[in-house]
Structure 1
Amino acid sequence: MIRLIAFLVYMMGYLVYSLPTLTKMKKLNPEMPVSERDQLIHQTPNKWSSTIMKITGSTVEVKGQEFLPDGPVVFVCNHEGDFDIPVLLASINKPFGFISKVEVKKAPIISSWMEVMNCVFIDRKDRRSAVQSIRDGVEKLKNGHSIVIFPEGTRSKGGPIGEFKAGGLRLAKDAGVPIVPIGIKGTADIFEKNNRLVRPANVQINICQPIEHEKIVAKDMKDIAADVRKIIIESFEKERIAS
């Protein structure tokens, strides 16, 4: 209970504390190179997320940072729990936005940070709006920003990795960028498996080799979705066999 209270107090307090920085980020020179601009914006979410992970008492092991390419990418991750985003923000050496449900747009301060991070809000109940959101995501990728998607569509809560829906992966195909598969294991042990209390856990992140755009356009998107899921699952199986 103490960790949960500390997490909530820190999260809300830091968001208020970050307001002056948020204002500065909104006023950054639009002529600034995208990579430099995104790196500046990323510093605050990175610090916020790193401290959150320290509060949980968890350890995070990241493998495959060397596979991160230059330029925009679509990160495709399995979705274990609510702490997936903080873990990624704290651990991945490449700034990114992410696809989020439109309801989060009502959250004060958080939604403003998400906007400057080039996140995309999607309303899955409104097909026309969802299509426009995908187009917005493609435009952000073409402008040089990276995006994280969770194609399972829901949290596995530590269970088997669900099927990957192909729709979101079209971002990479339409924008002409690579897909970088990322496996996440252990975040559900922080929260979802503990009756919604925060407890320490061992988290593993596997960054896998990119799938180049040429290979993406050569196959059906459903096959690409299945391939990415298989890559992520096998990244953990190889470690289990090796150990």
Structure 2
Amino acid sequence: MAAVARRRLWRLVLALTGGLTVTGELPRGGCVVVANHSSHADTAALLAALPGRCAPRVAAAADYWFAGGWRPAVGRALAAAFPVRRSGGGSADMARAVALLRAGHAVVVYPEGTRGRGAPGRFRSGAFRLAEAAGVPVVPVGIAGTADLLPKHGRLRRAHVAVRFGAPLPPDPEAARAEVARLAALPVPPPGAALRRAAARIARSRTGLALVVAWSLAEAVVWPLVPELLLFALVVAAPRAGVRLVPAAVLASMLGGLCTLALGAAGAAPPAPLVTDRMRAAVAEQTAAEGALAVRHQPLSGIPFKVYAAEAGRAGVDPLPFLGAAVTHRGLRIAAVGTACTLLGVALRRRPERYARVVATGCGLFAVGLALVVAAWA
């Protein structure tokens, strides 16, 4: 639980300070993680990248982090650190970590022994003797961007950080140093590209599908933000995911509309944020004149779908004709927006770094449009 809490904490911090990209995976079971070291932010990046299941522990300089004051408590609580002496006794300190490795923990060691600059310096042998004694592999990790985020003897700045896991290696200091240097030297992806990859992973997952269904259904009952907004963020990142996300949004929205119609028929009135009395009056007039077909005005009127569904229920409109009209008009608008998002996502494939700017612009335009609609119907 502590490892998961640290991971979430540092992921949040790095998201707020420029973002984090993680590539590669850690093998299951105990392992010694060796990484380049240029900033105090390296440990935060590693703890954010390592899976909670490995409950990582970090070897920290005893003369710096455990010399007294507030640092020992912070090191143990936020970095899962244990002390390793740099001047005599370090081998014995490292040997105590054998039990951690055999219990399945990942033990993080910075073999340079101190923060450096540029390419990794000579790797000391302690981490590799530890891996050999425990019978576990060495995993090289390259960290990039932390020297810009928190320079040595400098202040915190915004910067994107990349953590790259290499393939497990035998305990060879030179081979590990070469691989760590190679991984650390790879270019840091632009923040927009990293955000796009994260959104694409969500879009392709069951979580993304469940989120679209829940959002679309809720919007047809009480939620004030249309499902097209979520589809925009997800489908632009993963155009192929639109094949399942867009129909799911349409079906869930229709189901939510039928729920709201039933509530209206029963005389219930769920909360409806950003819905004005003038909106309700206009929909009541349209429903009295056109019945189920009144919902055809919804896509261009700016009035939420749930208002039409609730008024149809209060007016005693039959659910099936209402559903047919809603699919034809409301469903068609969702599908059209989803198609446009798919085309935009395909166009952005060659410029993934523009994803964040495009989504921010789209959300900004939506917010302005929503404010204008509410003001017009106030």
1:122 corresponds to 2:84: yes
**1:63, CA displacement in angstroms?**
0.9
User: Paired residue for 1:155?
Assistant: 115
* Counterpart for residue 179 of structure 1: 138
Hey, what does 1:75 align to over in structure 2? Answer: 33
Q: Aligned partners of 2:28 and 2:56: how far apart in 1?
A: 13
Q: Which residue matches 1:60?
A: 20
TM-score (structure 2 length as normaliser): 0.45
Give the superposition deviation at 1:89.
Answer: 1.0
Matched, 1:137 2:97: yes
Q: Distance in 2 between matches of 1:236 and 1:134?
A: 25
Distance 1:174 1:202, change over 3 A: same
Cα distance change on mapping 1:130 and 1:161 into 2, 3 Å: closer
Higher strand share: 1
Residue 114 of structure 1 deviates from its aligned partner by 6.7
Q: What is the letter of the counterpart of residue 89 of structure 1?
A: L
Alpha-carbon separation, structure 1, partners of 2:186 and 2:6: 32
CA contact (8 A) 1:97 1:114 kept: no
Q: What TM-score does the superposition give when structure 1 sets the normalisation length?
A: 0.67
Pairwise CA distance, 1:130: 2.0
Identity rate of aligned residues, in percent? 27
Structure with greater helix share of residues:
2
* Aligned residues of 2:58 and 2:108 also touching (Cα < 8 A): yes
SS of equivalent residue, structure 2 residue 20? strand
Deviation at 1:232, TM superposition (A): 1.9
The secondary structure found in structure 1 opposite 2:3 is helix
Q: How far off is 1:120 after superposition?
A: 2.7
3-state secondary structure, aligned to 1:205:
strand
Give the 3-state SS of the residue equivalent to 2:98 in structure 1. Answer: helix
Listed as ranges, the matches of 1:183-222 within 5 Å are: 183-192=142-151, 196-211=154-169, 215-216=170-171
Deviation at 1:108, TM superposition (A): 5.3
Q: CA RMSD in A?
A: 2.3
Alignment length (residue pairs): 182
Specify the SS of the correspondent of 1:109: helix
**Which runs of 5 or more structure 1 residues have no equivalent in the other structure?**
1-39, 217-223
Partner residue in 2 for 1:85: 43
Q: Which has the larger radius of gyration?
A: 2
Could you tell me whether the CA contact under 8 Å between 2:56 and 2:105 is conserved in 1?
yes
Code of the aligned partner of 1:123: R
Residue 125 (structure 2) aligns with: 166
